Amino acid sequence: MIELLYAISTLVFVVAGLTMVGMAMRAYVQTSREAMLHLSVGFSLAIAGAAATMISAFINDFEGVRSLLLVNSGLTTFGYLFVMYSLITYE
């Protein structure tokens, strides 16, 4: 049951994140502001971390939890750094 809840919450996060990536890319096309490109990269990295962790967890039957968490937190951290950079460099 907990695995199903984990999968559902991750999928909701991925869909919401992809929506934000699409909105940021649309804003980049309309305004040509590089900050919007950095924002979309940041959200993409956070989504990739969540998706890769979920897929790996189910493939490996939730073994190697430490490495799964390391990948997830690493990609999420780099993603948020891009989001922060986009906020700092936005003119």
The ranges assigned to domains in the chain are 1-86
Read off the pLDDT of each residue in 43-67 and give the average, rounded to a whole number. 93
**What whole-number distance in Å separates Cα of residue 80 and Cα of residue 78?**
5
pTM to 2 decimal places: 0.87
**Rounded distance between C-alpha atoms, residue 15 and residue 21, angstroms:** 10
**pLDDT at 61 > cutoff 80:** yes
Name the nearest CA neighbour of 45 among 21, 25, 65, 62: 21
Tokens representing 43? 């959200």
User: Residue 90: phi, psi to the nearest 5?
Assistant: -65, 130
Q: Which residue has the tokens 């799964």?
A: 68
